[in-house]
Structure 1
């Protein structure tokens, strides 16, 4: 997150969300920075507390207060995409693209075999279909059976070569070089 977006988020949380620092020793800016640090780097509150000379309990309390405000402001912070209807008249033949990624997760030791990737990491596979404007149309986390879902959506989505070349997928031909302009 760049500085401009950080300031915008901090101001929204402070003004609209009425987030206030619990003491004069801690500012809202530090609370938001700690919150984002925990989310972005998947670290424990005591680790962040050590970096900012705060107790783990204090960091956790601030994290929970910011999370509460963000959940209250979800209508403002999370953009809802318009559903694609059956009478879609855009002249383009491709509605978006399909991609997946692994997101590292912390799970109990019992569940780790279910989340282990082929490279040995503990992660959740998330499939995303997004529109040409970059809006998320569909998100599937850790699920199997993508083909029936794509057939229900009724459109073709370009994807990379790891997907099968079947109904709903537009994969590149193996061994072909495609210019970026195409």
Structure 2
């Protein structure tokens, strides 16, 4: 037994020696690293050493080919200059080291590319802190009421019938009181760990939900952002109606069945063919007033889908989130919608392209997971209002159907 104990003690001693040797080796390596830092790098190495500064790059874009600035910053030269003038009017100025032109360039380049802050910093040869600071400064300016409310606003009760409706015999006079279309859209986001589950939508993706009302000429009239990913469109509308969504009396938005029906929304018949592609592929004709109404309703409502398509195609930040706090992320779509409206007003080439862009509609109310919108609507409107809006829809559908039958008869007589 004494011999075995001696063997065990010797093995233990050897293991301690191995551990001690390893520790001594680590200390030696650490000392060597300190020596290297002390005697081989006497001065820190600069990080941003490119010969093309951010200011020089922005100047190149402003003085170069028209398509180049549009590709890199998402706007044409004259729109960039208009945005500069707006920022100056709002009181935003260049700092000692960063001009106003570069500040705007940082904001637009981030929104166009959705690159991380460190990559934006490499492009502009600025620190991460500088990039973040001026991005937030410009974002705050474009979401201030003095700018935002001038470009994003609801029409008044005396607004004329939209030309899109008036010039289309399939829509006029049936939708003469429609002032636009409304829908929700999901914007990808990067929430904190604590906010992550709240941001998970019905498809399991991480996003925040937005309610958007737009005109038939592709301009945003109202928007609210920052709702949980799983929030229903009807819930957003109900809360907005109680807050600041004041639609003129006698007017309404064309919306999908997920919203539920009320005086200010005109929704399609549920369980009735609606899908535009289904009609187009099959060369089908409507068999009754409900199918005809849904077909015409889908054609009119398609405008809001176009706006979503235009915005998300132009601004990468709406589909690839940037790592800012959520209070900053939810303001980004609002700023870009206001800029979109400014572009539509001052850039006829781009506004025409947006209006003519054929973005297809893939909405089907029969398969809509939010088709319980009537519950949210019923909490803020009376049963009398619901029945009144249903009666209005039936009257419009019947008038459409009567006109359609006359048109078919005239075709047969030719």
Matched, 1:139 2:230: no
Deviation at 1:101, TM superposition (A): 0.7
Matched, 1:20 2:94: yes
Of 66, 75, 79 in structure 1, the residue corresponding to residue 146 of structure 2 is 75
Select the structure of larger CA radius of gyration.
2
Deviation at 1:156, TM superposition (A): 4.0
Matched, 1:125 2:222: no
Counterparts of 2:89 and 2:258, CA distance in 1: 46
Q: Deviations over 1:51-86 (max 9, x none)?
A: 322211222343344356x2696414541635656x
Find the counterpart in structure 2 of residue 66 from structure 1: 138
Specify which structure has the higher proportion of helix.
2
Find the counterpart in structure 1 of residue 198 from structure 2: 114
Counterparts of 1:45 and 1:138, CA distance in 2: 27
Counterparts of 1:120 and 1:77, CA distance in 2: 32
Structure 2: gaps spanning 5 or more residues: 1-73, 162-175, 280-294, 301-399, 401-414
Find the counterpart in structure 1 of residue 258 from structure 2: 163
In the superposition, the TM-score normalised over structure 1's length comes to: 0.69
Q: Deviations over 1:92-123 (max 9, x none)?
A: 22232111111122211122111112333211
Q: 1:113 is paired with a residue of what secondary structure?
A: coil
Alignment CA distance shift 1:156-1:67 (3 Å)? closer
Work out which structure has the larger RCO, using CA pairs closer than 8 Å and 6 or more positions apart in sequence.
2
Matched, 1:48 2:116: no
Find the counterpart in structure 1 of residue 184 from structure 2: 100
Find the counterpart in structure 2 of residue 7 from structure 1: 81
Alignment CA distance shift 1:47-1:165 (3 Å)? same
Alignment CA distance shift 1:90-1:30 (3 Å)? closer
Partners of 1:127 and 1:140 within 8 A in 2: yes
Specify which structure has the higher proportion of strand.
1
Counterparts of 1:53 and 1:156, CA distance in 2: 50
Deviation at 1:19, TM superposition (A): 1.0
Partners of 2:93 and 2:99 within 8 A in 1: no
Partners of 2:211 and 2:224 within 8 A in 1: yes
Counterparts of 1:34 and 1:104, CA distance in 2: 21
Counterparts of 2:94 and 2:138, CA distance in 1: 10
Alignment CA distance shift 1:163-1:2 (3 Å)? same
Structure 1: gaps spanning 5 or more residues: none
Counterparts of 1:93 and 1:156, CA distance in 2: 6
Alignment CA distance shift 1:40-1:124 (3 Å)? farther
Q: 1:114 is paired with a residue of what secondary structure?
A: coil
Alignment CA distance shift 1:73-1:159 (3 Å)? closer
